[in-house]
């Protein structure tokens, strides 16, 4: 997301005008095209470098590009028990802050930058060889790890923001991973989505504008055919939330705690934001990983 101030200004203007004109997809395409044109070498190097990451990897086709998601069980990755323990520890550390002022009460991050170093298993897993190979295989280029966090969903009765069916407008393709730190059952605000093939161009458009209702979605894909990420602690999903219409955090009966990290395409369509909104993710930067002993010697290729 290394953007010049002028570039960022142009993109902010495009985003405002494009969404107001109800052309969100064309707008994102335009922003990414502008960024490709201003950094052709970065674009080419992310494409050229993918082969060396996925060569001889058993993980390269783990997330099918056709459906845009893959669920996994608690035994899939050896790090999952340590990830659950780290998520629990971060929750306990910040339990007294659950009522702090946050942007979205139904989904906010408890993890601080300091926690990243104290519980390195979380970022180490997000940048591990298997995960970077999964992400690179899915994108077909070397993507960027943008953010991570331990996200808490308080019990709530709202349908607002990301609780409404939508697609994420950060870029045209991304891969989010949600790992259940606590087991998720019905009433626990489960992440719910349509796969990439079921998510039509019209749904992407209205999903970006957040004007699509549950009823409209159900006419195309009834709730029983939507994917619900229920499961024990350590289960989870990789999902392209830019391409799969989704909602979550409708936690009506019990709270939810998940570890989430997010890979975005190069280029993405993200805008630099001034100031920090309470409860937002931890932004992954070279400074954040400096000094950490990461198991993947190639990890820094995925951070910029």
Alpha carbon distance 25, 206 (integer Å): 10
Shorter beta-carbon distance to Fe ion: residue 241 or 265: 241
Quick one: 281 or 301, whose CB is closer to Fe ion? 281
Compute the least distance from the CB of residue 153 to Fe ion, in Å: 13
Q: CA separation (Å) from 298 to 47, 78, 134, 144, 191? A: 16, 20, 14, 12, 31
Asked if 133 contacts 61 with a C-beta cutoff of 8 angstroms, the reply is: no
Nearer CB in complex with Fe ion: 35/243: 243
The CB-side HSE value for 230 (13 A sphere, CA atoms) comes to: 7
Nearer to Fe ion, 54 or 260 (CB): 260
142 or 203, CB closer to Fe ion?
Answer: 203
Closest separation in Å from C-beta 186 to Fe ion: 21
DSSP state string for 179-233: EESS-B-TTS---EE--TTTS-HHHHHHHHHT---HHHHHHHS-GGGSEE--BST
Report the distance separating Cα 49 and Cα 47, nearest Å: 6
Minimum CB separation of residue 73 from Fe ion in Å reads 23
* Residue 279 backbone dihedrals phi, psi, to 5 degrees: 90, 0
Shortest distance, position 291 Cβ to Fe ion, whole Å: 31
The closest residue (CB) to Fe ion is 168
To Fe ion, the closest distance from the beta carbon of 27 in angstroms equals 17
Q: Is 158 in contact with 243 (CB distance < 8 Å)?
A: no
The footprint of Fe ion (CB under 5 A) covers: 162, 168, 241
Distance CA 135, CA 54 (A): 10
Output the smallest distance, CB 167 to Fe ion, in A: 7
Of 168 and 190, nearer to Fe ion (C-beta) is 168
């Amino acid at each position: 997301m290394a953007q010049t101030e002028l570039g960022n200004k142009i993109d902010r203007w495009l985003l405002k005008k494009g969404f107001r004109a109800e052309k969100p997809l064309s707008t994102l395409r335009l922003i990414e095209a502008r960024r490709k044109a201003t950094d052709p070498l970065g674009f080419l190097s992310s494409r050229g470098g993918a082969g060396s990451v996925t060569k001889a990897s058993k993980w390269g086709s783990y997330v099918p590009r056709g459906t845009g998601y893959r669920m996994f069980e608690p035994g899939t990755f050896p790090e999952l028990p340590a990830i659950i323990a780290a998520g629990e520890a971060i929750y306990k550390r910040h339990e007294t802050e659950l009522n702090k002022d946050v942007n979205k009460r139904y989904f906010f991050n408890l993890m601080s930058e300091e926690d990243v170093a104290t519980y390195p298993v979380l970022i180490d897993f997000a940048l591990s060889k298997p995960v970077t190979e999964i992400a690179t295989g899915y994108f077909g280029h070397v993507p960027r790890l943008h953010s991570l966090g331990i996200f808490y969903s308080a019990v709530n009765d709202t349908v607002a923001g990301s609780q409404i069916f939508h697609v994420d407008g950060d870029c045209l393709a991304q891969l989010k991973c949600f790992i259940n730190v606590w087991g998720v059952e019905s009433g626990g605000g489960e992440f719910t989505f349509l796969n990439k093939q079921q998510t039509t161009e019209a749904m992407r458009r209205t999903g970006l504008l957040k004007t699509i209702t549950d009823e409209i979605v159900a006419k195309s894909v009834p709730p029983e055919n939507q994917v619900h990420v229920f499961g024990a602690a350590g289960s989870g999903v990789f999902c392209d939330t830019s391409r799969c219409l989704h909602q979550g955090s409708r936690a009506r009966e019990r709270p939810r705690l998940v570890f989430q990290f997010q890979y975005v395409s190069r280029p993405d369509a993200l805008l630099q934001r001034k100031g920090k909104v309470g409860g937002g993710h931890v932004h992954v930067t070279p400074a954040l990983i400096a000094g950490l002993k990461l198991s993947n010697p190639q990890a820094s290729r995925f951070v910029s």
